[in-house]
Structure 1
Amino acid sequence: MKQYFVHIIHIIYCALWCLVLALPARAQHVVDDRRLPDSLQRVLAKAGPLKDQTEALFGLSDYYSTRDTTKALDYARQALDRSKQDAYLSAIAHFYLAGVYFEFNPDRSQEEYLYAEKQLAKFPQPEALVYRSRAWNNYGALEQRRDNTRGYIDILINKALPLAQQAGDSTRVALNYHNIGLVLLNMGDYGRALQYFPRAIAIMEANTTVYADLADAYVLSARASLLQGKSAMAKPLLDKARKVLTPNPDSPYWPLYYAVEGAYYRAVGDRAKAHQSLAQGLILADRMQDRFEKRSLLYEQFNLYKDEKNYTAARNLLQQGLALEASFPLSKNKRQWLYDLAETEKQAGNMEAAFTWMRQYALLSDSIHANQTNTEIARLEAQFRTTEKEKQILTLEHEKKIDARDRKFQVLLLLSVIAGLLLIASLAVMRLRYRQRMAARREEEHQAELEKKNYAALMDGQEQERQRMARDLHDGLGCQLSAVKLNLSRINAESAREAQSLQLVTDQLDQSIRELRWISRNMMPESLLTLGLTDALKDLCGSVMSAQLRVVYNAYHIDAALPLSTQTMIYRMIQEIISNAVKHAGASVILLQCSQEEDRFFITVEDNGKGFDPATVQSGGIGLKNIRNRVEYFKGSLVIESSPEGTIINIELNVASAT
């Protein structure tokens, strides 16, 4: 019997993997949160907005969820009651209610997380995405506690992490990397765990705010390094974790820290420091009522006593751990405790006790295997039934398809005919509308051409009439007045009084002749006919200059071959603008610049007058209206900028359109 027992022990020893106790995934926490309840209570004391009040209740519920379940539940229910009228806040309230039930009612907790996630999915804001990521994370953590570790890592990778990335929350992404590393650590995949912990650490270290989760990542990364046999990598990580946690001696992360620190000292052979670290961790775990970390600390201490061959102390620690295991659902861990008890009793020479523990281990292993087998059989049966139903459904669907195929063909044929008729009708309507649009466009172009021709004829008629009147005034009346002046000059006055009277009449006659010549030149400037537009504009500027008015004129690249009608219309526009600046604006300086680039003619007139409102002048001013008509005739543009400091007029003409 002894040989059979030893054989069983050997087989089981080869099959077992090193125990890694499953750790719960934590939310983001500040290093020192001892003042948090007071600050949140002050928010509640103020009659602030509903969002501020409910967020304070959320914070209090989250704070007490690991310290005082009664208080945490009370705050969560208050938040749920206050947020009834706000669907978004109500969904978040269910999230925090799930957090309260996390430890003592996992089924209710998972229900609340799923409900909160479903309600939050209706809201697109990043905060809602973050809460959904947290809900899936915590739901998966409970699945891990149900011994469904692979289900948890699937949720992390396919649900929690993508939602955090979609929200653009780098801290939440880091926490998901942290939790993925934690699950891989629990699964014994230390190499891959050490790929995810550094990702989380890099993001958290770059954050301006230092969270206690960074210490947690350091400690777990150190644990993975120890389990890989890389003790030298663990110590710097533990030192960084201690630096983060030191400001808060009551941090719930200390027990885990001491558990890993004790494992480190055991790995490097410093058993005294290992005992000291583990004892400190157990004191804190008992004070914080942290059963989870206490279990981890007990197992590390058991390994330490086993190394020292103190089997009595090792057995006592294993029995404490086994008793503590009754409050956890992970049967695999319980199986490990039983196996270690059997091994410890064997090493102590208590073969009967070792056999008793090994029998319990074997029974539990058979039970686990049976449960897994039953689960697999149930899954296969469900899959078989689903396959049979799918076959029946496919058969019925095939028959329905055969019956419906003819009807579908007839319907498609009818729809095709209707679609063809509609297409033909649509094309006919579109063609008719196109013809109507083209006819309307041709009519508009014809009317515009007629208006242009009429306007050109009107302008030509006006200019011809002005030329005729100018010639009549100059050649007729002007000559007569000159003859009268000549005759008057031949009269000899007999007395000084008569000579004075005669001189007065002669002066008045000279004034009349000059006025007549000015009118004649304005009606048709002789320089425009003889010298061209450039010189005609120069004469125009010179004629209006006086002691009170200075006119600056510049001309560039003006084509002397422009048609006379075009030159005349440009001259009239500038004449009107200068006249307005002198008569109405009271300008003392006028700047005129004309230039030409191929078929584009540019006019800029700037004065320092008192300005005007183009909108009011447009409706009643004949001069400005004439200018606009001429600009439109040339298919050009007119821009007026006027203020009390002066006026700037920019005109661009297409002189090719007038030819």
Structure 2
Amino acid sequence: MKKLVILVFLYTLPLFVNAQTTANEKSTESLLLQLNTAGTDSARAMLSFELAELYLGKDSLKTDRYLKNGLQFSKNTGIPAAVYFYYAGRVIEGADLDQAMALYLKTDTLLQPYKTPQALSFRAKAWYLYGAGEQKKDNPKGFADILLNKAIPLAQQAGDNTMAGKNLLAVAMVFKNAGEFDKADTYIKSAFNTLKLPGVPTHELITAYTTVAENYSLSGKAAEARQALDSAAKLLPAYPDSEFYLDYYAAEGMNYTVMGKFEDALASLEKGISMAAKMGKAYDMQRMQLQQFYAYYNARQFTKAKNVLLLLSEKPEMMMLATNRLQVFYGLALTYEELKDFGPGYTWMKKYAELNDSLSKSQLTNDVHALEIRYRNAEKQKEIEALKAKNIQESLSASNSRLVSGLFGSISMFLVLLLTAGYIIFRNRRKLHEQKELSYRQHLHEIAQEQQLRFSQAIMQGEEQERRRLARDLHDGLGGMIAGARINLSAHMKSGEIPTAAPLEKITQQLDKSVTELRRIAHNMMPATLLEQSLEAAINDLCESMMNDHTRITFQAIHLSDHTLAEDVQLHIYRIIQELLNNAVRHGKAKNIMLQVSIDEGKCYITAEDDGKGFDITNSSKGIGLNNIRNRVGFMKGNIDIDSRINQGTTVNIELNVQ
């Protein structure tokens, strides 16, 4: 019934500083030679810091030694003294992220008085690493904010095309992770244009190509993704055994999975996992193992898929990000379902639902878009300021001529008259617009009142139909049963004979059926559980009463018991759910029904999904049951969305105002 797709929350943090010798295009020997021949202490300090970074992750003793040497050469003054805190943050980041982020902020503060390209470039780097720290703390909005409003403007001011291109690429990754593939493609193209400028190392394009390959794969453009991977493959041989291969294998594995070539995908991912393990890159290894899961799942190798996710569920690097936890929980739930092991499947689905309830991907998308708009507006403002400066200069030049001054005065008078006339016209038009707006609002209010009246009348008609049905049930059903019992009892009384056990047993059975029928009718009128306990208990009883050997109903309540609702509101919600389940069981012949009801901030959300026969939505207006649901939803000022396909099931999403 469900098909798993590749999710887009594969967070990659493209660090602009790479400890690989080939990536930096610098060798230890060349740096040491420059250090020995440097003419100033400032130059020695900066070279010492570069050596400390080069040994980072390889030789901790040499890293600490060159970091201390750089501090001594800096003499606690100038740009090198400020840059020391940047490199110190790089060294301790793995052990103490918060302290490292504090050092990056200190670097920015100390460098603010300096307006040189070098100072601006290091400020951009410091802000980038601070933003990357926010990303590691599960705050992609903060990362995007820093990139757009701090790191990119500083890199552009510094003329650092390498840094600017990498920051643009990082923004693209944020949009890719948020599922905004078209927006990500826009920033990828900007990054390419920047990284192809003179002076930018060629290897920077490798990360750009692998990023665009992932973006194309996730957006369904597998052929374009393959072209990007081929472009990256042409550059890789120049950097053997570098970390760039990890991104390449991850992107290639994703591309093969999307294309349905699962064996090729697993082969590529296995290469990447083996290389990441040798390099000690735990997170890179785990994100490729997560892609292994998608290949196994879509290849229907569910046992292997389950084992991969169970392994990842115990890895702190993978489970640190909430979006990764969502993938693991949801993947385990669906995999256990395919394995027909519904107990663990329900447990993982519950974990997924609880976590998903606390997250809002749509809010992340909106936040990132808002940050982008602020960035675009800032760029436009710079253009406006440049135009203003140009206009001022031209005006000063023109003021040297008397003829131009006289002409300017005449034009000014004309503009004053024109503005005065324009203001009068604008004021009159504004009053007319306000009148039209008031009339329009009154018309909308009348329409809303008329619509609410129609909904109320429709509900009253439905209740009248319910009363008629109830009368028929009482007369034809319950009345007939009680009458039969009375006739049998009267017959024995007229005969004067004492009835034996068998006739009395028959009469007792008739009375038992009458009591059962009476309870059914009373429950349909007003469920006793709803009056005596809660809405959640009443819905749960309803689900259990409608289940049988052929139909299974899964009910999930989220924050339902945390809110106190008016009795009429509870009854409307109960009737809507009763109609939904009745349609799925009686008309849809569904085998599995999943019902979820939640309340949040004055809204009630109802989702019902079944695997029944489905129906043609264009003819749904003819169904009395659906019309009753729509009328109740409209009466509660809510919204309803129905997605149904013949022989593929039905999904109904309802939002109600319950305040």
Structure 2-normalised TM-score? 0.51
Q: Which amino acid aligns with 2:66?
A: Y
Question: CA separation in 2, counterparts of 1:362 and 1:69?
Answer: 43
Q: Which of these residues, 3, 8, 11, is aligned with residue 22 of structure 1?
A: 11
The structural deviation recorded for 1:144 is: 1.2
Question: CA separation in 2, counterparts of 1:32 and 1:151?
Answer: 28
Partner of 2:302: 311
Q: Which of these residues, 66, 76, 79, is aligned with residue 88 of structure 1?
A: 79
The structural deviation recorded for 1:69 is: 5.0
Are residues 1:340 and 2:331 paired?
A: yes
Over 3 Å counting, the alpha-carbon distance change for 1:247 and 1:17 in structure 2 is closer
Q: Which of these residues, 249, 272, 275, is aligned with residue 266 of structure 2?
A: 275
Partner of 1:300: 291
Partner of 1:387: none
Question: CA separation in 1, counterparts of 2:49 and 2:233?
Answer: 29
Partner of 1:38: 29
Question: CA separation in 2, counterparts of 1:68 and 1:357?
Answer: 42
Asked whether the equivalents of residues 255 and 293 of structure 1 are also in contact (C-alpha less than 8 Å), the reply is: yes
Deviations 1:523-543 (CA, angstroms, capped at 9, x unpaired): xxxxxxxxxxxxxxxxxxxxx
Q: Which of these residues, 307, 320, 324, is aligned with residue 329 of structure 1?
A: 320
Partner of 2:96: 105
Q: Which of these residues, 160, 182, 203, is aligned with residue 151 of structure 2?
A: 160
Q: Which of these residues, 152, 156, 161, is aligned with residue 170 of structure 1?
A: 161
Over 3 Å counting, the alpha-carbon distance change for 1:85 and 1:142 in structure 2 is closer
Over 3 Å counting, the alpha-carbon distance change for 1:365 and 1:71 in structure 2 is farther
Question: CA separation in 2, counterparts of 1:139 and 1:308?
Answer: 40
Are residues 1:187 and 2:167 paired?
A: no
Are residues 1:233 and 2:219 paired?
A: no
The structural deviation recorded for 1:43 is: 3.4
Over 3 Å counting, the alpha-carbon distance change for 1:278 and 1:17 in structure 2 is closer
SS of corresponding position for 2:311: helix
SS of corresponding position for 1:246: helix
Asked whether the equivalents of residues 147 and 171 of structure 2 are also in contact (C-alpha less than 8 Å), the reply is: yes
Asked whether the equivalents of residues 31 and 211 of structure 1 are also in contact (C-alpha less than 8 Å), the reply is: no
Partner of 1:628: none
Deviations 1:375-422 (CA, angstroms, capped at 9, x unpaired): xxxxxxxxxxxxxxxxxxxxxxxxxxxxxxxxxxxxxxxxxxxxxxxx
Over 3 Å counting, the alpha-carbon distance change for 1:256 and 1:112 in structure 2 is same
Question: CA separation in 2, counterparts of 1:74 and 1:312?
Answer: 50
Are residues 1:61 and 2:52 paired?
A: yes
The structural deviation recorded for 1:45 is: 4.5
Asked whether the equivalents of residues 254 and 291 of structure 2 are also in contact (C-alpha less than 8 Å), the reply is: yes
% identity of equivalent residues:
31
Partner of 1:564: none
Q: Which amino acid aligns with 1:22?
A: Y
The structural deviation recorded for 1:17 is: 8.7
Partner of 2:348: 357
The structural deviation recorded for 1:48 is: 4.5
The structural deviation recorded for 1:37 is: 2.0
Question: CA separation in 2, counterparts of 1:47 and 1:200?
Answer: 34
The structural deviation recorded for 1:365 is: 4.5
Bigger-Rg structure (1/2): 1
SS of corresponding position for 2:242: coil
The structural deviation recorded for 1:334 is: 1.5
Over 3 Å counting, the alpha-carbon distance change for 1:67 and 1:238 in structure 2 is farther
The aligned runs of 1:483-522 (5 Å cut-off) are none
Structure 1-normalised TM-score? 0.51
SS of corresponding position for 1:229: coil
Asked whether the equivalents of residues 344 and 354 of structure 1 are also in contact (C-alpha less than 8 Å), the reply is: yes
Q: Which of these residues, 67, 78, 95, is aligned with residue 69 of structure 2?
A: 78
SS of corresponding position for 1:323: coil
In the comparison of the two structures, how many residue pairs are matched? 359
Question: CA separation in 2, counterparts of 1:329 and 1:52?
Answer: 40
Partner of 2:238: 247
Over 3 Å counting, the alpha-carbon distance change for 1:19 and 1:247 in structure 2 is same
Asked whether the equivalents of residues 219 and 238 of structure 1 are also in contact (C-alpha less than 8 Å), the reply is: yes
Between 1:359-368 and 1:335-344, the stretch displaced more is: 359-368
Deviations 1:111-170 (CA, angstroms, capped at 9, x unpaired): 000000000111111110111111111111111111111111111111111111212222
SS of corresponding position for 1:225: helix
What do you get for the CA RMSD once the two structures are aligned? 2.6
The structural deviation recorded for 1:38 is: 2.6
Question: CA separation in 2, counterparts of 1:199 and 1:27?
Answer: 17
The aligned runs of 1:416-455 (5 Å cut-off) are none
Asked whether the equivalents of residues 136 and 159 of structure 1 are also in contact (C-alpha less than 8 Å), the reply is: yes
SS of corresponding position for 2:313: helix
Over 3 Å counting, the alpha-carbon distance change for 1:176 and 1:47 in structure 2 is closer
Gaps of 5+ in 1: 1-5, 373-659
Deviations 1:475-519 (CA, angstroms, capped at 9, x unpaired): xxxxxxxxxxxxxxxxxxxxxxxxxxxxxxxxxxxxxxxxxxxxx
The structural deviation recorded for 1:34 is: 7.6
Q: Which of these residues, 210, 218, 221, is aligned with residue 212 of structure 2?
A: 221
Are residues 1:139 and 2:120 paired?
A: no
The structural deviation recorded for 1:253 is: 1.6
Asked whether the equivalents of residues 73 and 97 of structure 1 are also in contact (C-alpha less than 8 Å), the reply is: no
Question: CA separation in 2, counterparts of 1:240 and 1:326?
Answer: 31
Q: Which amino acid aligns with 2:135?
A: Q
Asked whether the equivalents of residues 325 and 334 of structure 1 are also in contact (C-alpha less than 8 Å), the reply is: no
Question: CA separation in 1, counterparts of 2:195 and 2:11?
Answer: 23
Question: CA separation in 2, counterparts of 1:363 and 1:115?
Answer: 39
Partner of 2:565: none
Asked whether the equivalents of residues 283 and 318 of structure 2 are also in contact (C-alpha less than 8 Å), the reply is: no
The structural deviation recorded for 1:193 is: 0.7
Q: Which amino acid aligns with 2:15?
A: R
Deviations 1:206-251 (CA, angstroms, capped at 9, x unpaired): 3355342210011001100101000111112111212222112221
